A and B are shown apart, each in its own frame.
Chain A
Amino acid sequence: MVPLISDNKNTGANAANMAIALTHHCQMNCRYCGISSKSFDMRQETLYKSIDILFSAQHNDIELQFFGGEPLIRFDLINKAVSYSREKAENTKKEITFLLTTNGLLLNRKILDYFRALRATVLLSLDGAPAAHLKSRPLKNKNGPHAYESIMHALRGLQERKMDFFINLVYTEKNLKILFDNVSFLAANGIKKIKLSYAVGSKFKESDACAVYGTLEEIFHAFPALEFPGSCGENEPILATPQITVDSTGMVYRGCALVLEKKYPGFNRLMRVGPVKDAPDYKSLQRTAAQQTEFLLERKREIPAVLLDNLRFGQTLKELLSARRMRT
């Protein structure tokens, strides 16, 4: 699984959104992913309670993101969540949209058709050309079938169905150099929308922001026909994103703590809000990005140095990228 934060594309910034980690199981063993595999899958009552909380928002637009592990491993839960939330949407006269975060391995014809019918957005994790992808996103079962082929198959399925989807391409300080080539590879495969995300927990420091900006700016400039969500630094600093995530255990977190839990359990605790069953409503969970940044800076003594570096890196990157908005 990738550390991804919804970019609110479908619903606009005014949507209430929530990511639900249905399971921690995944077929992959991505280098930058720190979700622990020990946890159990989400219980139905926790799932429904989470959706209830999401619908307690004042917003008219609601976005539900299926997250994990690999959420498609628990397609049964997705199905339940969809039925339940559609029913709720009808009763409350709200608009619901779905976002599926997936590694693509289980995206078969049936599932693709299911999500097309839902008009869901699919976020496919793909790190570029085969060599780069297989290096950063290996399978757990090393003798398993060639993962890349099935992901490309899923990709063609998404394209043929003209579904709303985008690629999440994760880079680290190690492969920044070949980022352009990986984007170029995706463009050559007819992909039109790519979200470029650095892996939180990788060794990016504030002083690297300029180099990363240089690389990103070149890519944005060179591929004018591609859409790059977040290219004006909207989601930076990623570490301080206030996105609400309900873990399969029923614990509510803010931001990307979940994908850092293995390596930085202390940070995980810091970002923990409490069990979803005790949450009074959506509003009580909400924070703005600025509030979240402020919160982290206040508690910086409790944050590991690597993450603090990431935070400052993100702040500087935001500053650099936000100038793009004026230009575009």
Chain B
Amino acid sequence: MTKNMQGSINSLMVMLTRSCQFACDYCEVALGPESMPLPILMRAIDLLMTTDDERCQLRFWGGEPLIKWASIKKAVDYAQKRAVTAKKSIKFMITTNGYLLDEKKLRYLEKNNFEAMLSFDGNEYAHDRHRHLKNRKGTYTRTLENLRRLASYNIPYFVNLVVTPDTVGVLSDSLEFLKNNSIASVQICYRCGVAWRRKASGELLAQLENFLGRGNRADFIMNFHNDCEPTMLSQEILVDVDGRIYYDAAIFLEKKFPSLKKSYELGNIGGIKNIGRLYASKPELRKRFLLACSEPQKKIFLNNEGLGLKMKAFFEQRNQGSISSNEHPVIGPVAAQGFREQNKILIELDIDAVFMKIEGPCLNDCVFCRQKTSSAFDALPSILERLGNGRGSVSKKLCLIGNEPMLHPKITQILRKIKKSGFSMIEIMTSGNMLADPAFTKKVVDAGATSFSIPLFSNHADVHDAIVGRKGACNSVIRGIENALRSGAQAFIHTNLIRQNIAHCLELERFVRKQLALPFAIFTIRPKTSNLAFPRLMPAYAEIISRLTGVKSMVGFPLCVTQKVQAELFKNENEISDSMKLYFLDQGFVKLRRCSGCIFIKKCAGIFREYARFFPTDEIRPITARHANTIH
């Protein structure tokens, strides 16, 4: 419900019908054949019009309101006319299972200022487990089809996802699935009326954390913005099919809490003159709720309320800022800008290069990477156009970034043009797979490539191959590196330190430095665009210190952690590719308050905000001058 500061009410739910095609396991509404007679519906609209607010919303609810399509049309017609005389703007909302949503109805909803709430429980497992027809046939396929159809219209909508103790384990999968299906936003509701054991409620929050930890944007989940918890104390007003008025929970929980109807009843549609008088605060509702409960019901209520409050706290906490006010500037999509603008930002970050991103797919399917686009390549003319803008670059080095720039069918042509535009050095960020073909490598180098920035996750072929999701990748990369060097180009090798390869990093460093005799850098994994929750990839600093002591190649870790692992605090800049510098800096960092005492506070990037959220930060200790002397 939306209410303004005075506590007035500007929306009303109408129970259009108690009939529904579905027989969802968790639905606590007593379904039946009854529908709302038209006179009651019109009276309900009259009641809504008594609101003090200039804007109001009529919400169709059920059962399944689309079963009464004719009533909806008549109600909309009547409400619009009444709104004109009452000088109010009116909008509509429909809560639907989506089963009957066809093009004709969607066009109507679009035309008439409707908002839609479609109930859909995520992936097939979660959805079909509880949302089935009366004959227990699953409803997933048809609902998803109609959801997609809904999404293609210009109708504001969101998915209402009900999570139950037995589907909570797939919640993050479900959210990921909806996000991948371009669903605009999701409202997560936990099943009310059953007890959530501690394990299940813990799992619910863990699943949310997991989803958000993958760098998913918070605005996808509506619970961040709306203050609806605990949902059992919903202040919405609902008109039942028979014209009786209740607070929302009396109906959506009527089977579990039948006595609530008496406690929550507000009278008959004929008897109420002003909708504003129906307002009740949440504490008042809580009191009434508890009064209506038997002892076992009370237990369930308190359990669900507790979970609601936990959810509320979860979202509120994540809405607040970080533990530190000391934010490193995030440079954002630098590569999307003109070269001149890039120069300005990058020179300050000690990067003497400009960047050009080439859209396109990748050969690898790395476990930690979410940028798995299968999109088409940038067209050659658009690349050349962007290049044309960049003649004014001060820097003479250009880095081609993207998933796999060398997969572009016109790569040699692009390289020649870049060279012609005045760049004497061209770095390509690549998985290295394609360099395994010596003829191709020679062609690319001849066309202008001067260096390659290549990741290697282990010198054990099976480990590297599994992490990048490509069989034979390790051998191709190592052959590729040799080919690049033979053709006269430089190669910068780096790895991202993750839980999945921490066992192999020491050995990998030895391999690259001794056997390949090449520069090597161990970067921290970044939370941005990560495919897994950050703590599922990032080893704790304590673990890094205990396992990596003796390496020489760590870059981008807090300096106080670095100094416990390697003698040199700062790596030779020439050993790091410019592409990787950008990759690393393009992040949000924080510094802890205690860092203010560190002599390297300006030189240290700090830690990722996500690290501070998920791990203890005991290892983060300011380096004082006395300590620093013992290092150098």
User: A residues near B, CB below 8 A?
Assistant: 173, 176-177, 180, 184, 187-190, 192, 206-215, 217-218, 221-226, 320
Q: Judging by beta carbons under 8 Å apart, are A187 and B503 in contact?
A: yes
Q: Which of B185-232 contact A (CB under 8 A)?
A: 199-200, 202-203, 206-207, 210
A210-B169 contact given A188-B499, A189-B503, A222-B537, CB 8 Å threshold? yes
Which of chain B's residues has its CB closest to A189's CB?
Answer: B503
Contact A184 B499 (CB under 8 A): yes
Q: How far is the CA of A208 from the CA of B203 in the complex (A)?
A: 10
Q: Are B169 and A215 in contact (CB under 8 A)?
A: yes
Chain B min CB distance to A212 (Å):
7
**Bound complex: CA A173 to CA B197 (Å):** 12
Instruction: Give which listed residue, A206, A210, A221, contacts B367 with CB less than 8 A.
Output: A221
Q: Which residue of B lies closest to A213 (CB)?
A: B169
Return the chain B residue nearest A186 by Cβ.
B503
Do residues A214 and B170 form an inter-chain contact, with CB atoms below 8 A?
yes
- A244–B78 Cα distance when bound, in Å, is 75
Complex contact B462–A208 (CB within 8 A): no
CB of B499 within 8 A of CB of A225, answer no
Check B299 for interface membership: any CB of A closer than 8 A: no
Given contacts A214-B207, A221-B367, contact A190 B503 (CB under 8 A): yes
A226 surroundings in chain B (CB, below 8 A): 466
Residues of B contacting A213 with CB < 8 Å? 169-170
Q: Which of B173, B210, B367 contacts A224 (CB 8 A)?
A: B367
B502 lies within 8 A of A177 (CB): no
Please give, as numbers and ranges, the residues of chain A lying within 8 Å of B500 by CB-CB distance. 187, 222-225
Decide yes or no: A224 and B543 within 8 Å by CB, A173-B199, A187-B499 being known contacts: no
Nearest 5 CB-CB pairs, A to B?
A214-B169, A225-B466, A210-B169, A211-B169, A224-B466
- Which residues of B lie under 8 Å from residue A210 when comparing CB positions? 166-170
Q: Bound complex: CA of A70 vs CA of B532, how far in Å?
A: 39
B107 at the interface (CB under 8 A from A): no
Digitize B438-469: 1 where CB-to-A-CB distance is under 8 Å, 0 elsewhere: 00000000000000000000100011011101
Is the CB of B172 closer than 8 A to any CB of chain A? yes
B463 touches A225 (CB 8 A): yes
Give 5 A-B contacts (CB < 8 Å), ordered by A residue: A176-B199, A187-B502, A211-B200, A211-B203, A224-B469
Interface size bucket, B side? 35 or more
Contacts of B501 in A (CB 8 A): 225
Mask for B462-502, Cβ within 8 A of A = 1, else 0? 11011101000000000000000000000000000001111
Residue among B170, B172, B499, B504 facing the most chain A CB atoms (10 A cut-off) = B499
Closest residue on chain A to residue B503 by CB atoms: A190
Alpha-carbon gap, A224 to B471, bound state (A): 12
Contacts of A225 on B, CB cut-off 8 Å?
A: 458, 462-463, 465-467, 500-501
Whether A188 pairs with B203 at a CB distance below 8 angstroms is no
What sequence of 0s and 1s flags, for each residue 491-534 of chain B, a beta carbon within 8 Å of any chain A beta carbon? 00000000111111000000000000000000000000000100
Q: Please state if A214 and B203 are interface contacts (CB–CB under 8 Å).
A: yes
B338 contacts partner chain A, Cβ-Cβ < 8 Å: no
- Chain A residue numbers with a CB within 8 Å of B169 are 209-215
Contact (Cβ within 8 A) B467 A214: no
Expressed in whole angstroms, the minimum distance between the Cβ of B213 and any Cβ of chain A is: 11
Cβ-based interface call for B125 (8 A)? yes
**For residue A209, which residues in chain B have a CB less than 8 angstroms away from its CB?**
166, 169
Contact check, B168 vs A214: say whether CB atoms are below 8 A apart: yes
Q: Which B164-180 residues have a C-beta within 8 angstroms of A?
A: 165-173
Contact B206 A177 (CB under 8 A): yes
Q: Tell me, in angstroms, the Cα distance from A214 to B125 when the chains sit together.
A: 12
Query: Chain A: which residue is nearest B465 at the CB level?
Result: A225
Q: Is the CB of A211 within 8 A of B168?
A: yes
Contact (Cβ within 8 A) A222 B199: no
Shortest Cβ distance from residue B16 to the other chain A in the assembled complex, whole angstroms: 34
Q: Is B564 an interface residue (CB 8 A)?
A: no
A209 to B199, CA, bound (A): 12
How would you classify the secondary structure of chain B's contact residues: helix, strand, loop or mixed?
Answer: helix
Closest to A224 in B: B466
B539 interface hit (Cβ, 8 Å): yes
Q: Which of B134-191 contact A (CB under 8 A)?
A: 165-173
B287 on the interface (CB 8 Å rule)?
A: no
| Bound Cα distance from A101 to B307, whole angstroms | 43
Query: Knowing that A184-B539, A187-B503, A222-B499 are A-B contacts, what are 6 other residue pairs whose CB atoms are under 8 Å apart, sorted by A's residue number?
Result: A188-B547, A211-B199, A211-B203, A212-B169, A222-B500, A225-B500
CB distance from A179 to the nearest CB of B (A): 12
For the complex, what is the distance from the CA of A190 to the CA of B458, rounded to whole Å?
A: 12
B536→A222 contact, CB < 8 A: yes
**Closest chain A CB from B162 CB (angstroms):** 14
Shortest Cβ gap from B508 to chain A (Å): 12
Tell me whether A190 and B170 are in contact in the complex, defined as CB-CB below 8 angstroms, given that A224-B367, A225-B463, A225-B466 are known contacts: no
Q: How far is the CA of A177 from the CA of B205 in the complex (A)?
A: 12
A177 to B536, Cβ gap below 8 A?
Answer: no
Separation of A184 and B547 alpha carbons in the complex (Å): 13
C-alpha spacing A180/B166, complex, angstroms: 20
Return B172 CB to nearest CB of chain A, in Å: 7
Known A187-B503, A189-B503, A207-B166; judge A222-B532 contact (CB<8 A): yes
Complex CA gap A223/B457 in Å reads 13
From A190, A217, A222, B504 is in contact (CB under 8 Å) with A190
User: Which of A176, A184, A187, A211: most chain B Cβ within 10 A?
Assistant: A211
A residues within 8 A CB of B463?
225
Give Cα distance in the complex from A188 to B543, angstroms. Answer: 9
Report Cα–Cα, A184/B533, bound state, in Å: 14
**Interface pair B202/A177, CB less than 8 Å apart:** yes
The residues of B that contact A218 with a CB separation of less than 8 Å are 210, 532, 536
Q: How far is the CA of A215 from the CA of B166 in the complex (A)?
A: 13
Interfacial chain A residues near B207, Cβ < 8 Å = 214
Give the chain B neighbours of A221 by CB distance below 8 A.
367, 532
A226 to B466, CA, bound (A): 8
In whole angstroms, how far apart are the Cα atoms of A95 and B466 in the complex? 32
Q: How far is the CB of B398 from chain A (nearest CB, A)?
A: 34
Contacts of A190 in B (CB 8 A): 503-504
CA distance A84 to B405 in the complex (A): 63
Closest to B539 in A: A188
B530-559 vs A, Cβ < 8 Å mask (1 yes, 0 no): 001000110100010001000000000000
A214's nearest neighbour on chain B, judged by CB, is: B169
CB distance from B315 to the nearest CB of A (A): 20
Closest to A203 in B: B199
User: In the bound complex, how far is the Cα of B329 from the Cα of A59, in angstroms?
Assistant: 68
Q: How far does the Cβ of A156 sit from chain B's closest Cβ, in whole Å?
A: 12
Q: Are A320 and B125 in contact (CB under 8 A)?
A: yes
Name the B residues within 8 Å of A206 (CB-CB).
166
Residues of A near B170 (CB, < 8 A) are 210, 213-214
B499: min CB distance to chain A, Å: 5
Which of B210, B462, B466, B469 has the most CB atoms of chain A within a 10 A radius of its CB?
B466
Q: Are A224 and B499 in contact (CB under 8 A)?
A: no
- B308-357 residues with Cβ-Cβ distance < 8 A to A are none
Q: Which residues of A contact B465 (CB under 8 A)?
A: 225
CA distance A209 to B165 in the complex (A): 10
Knowing A218-B210, A218-B536, A221-B367, the reply to whether A208 touches B466 (Cβ < 8 A) is: no
Contacts of B536 in A (CB 8 A): 180, 218, 222
How far does the Cβ of B427 sit from chain A's closest Cβ, in whole Å?
29
Shortest distance from the beta carbon of B462 to any chain A beta carbon, whole Å: 6
A221 to B458, CA, bound (A): 18
Minimal Cβ-Cβ distance residue in A for B468: A224
- CB proximity of B199 to chain A, nearest CB, Å: 7
Provide the bound-state CA to CA distance between A192 and B463, in Å: 9
- Residues B202 and A188 in contact, CB atoms below 8 Å apart: no
Q: Which residues of B contact A180 (CB under 8 A)?
A: 536
Nearest to B172 among chain A residues (CB) is A214
CA distance A222 to B214 in the complex (A): 12
Least distance between B211 CB and chain A CB atoms (Å): 11
Q: How far is the CA of A221 from the CA of B500 in the complex (A)?
A: 11
Closest-CB distance, A164 to chain B (whole angstroms) = 15
* Cα separation A207 to B172 with both chains bound (whole Å): 18
Please pick, from A177, A188, A320, the residue contacting B503 in the complex, using a CB distance under 8 A: A188
- Nearest Cβ on chain B to A46's Cβ, whole angstroms: 42
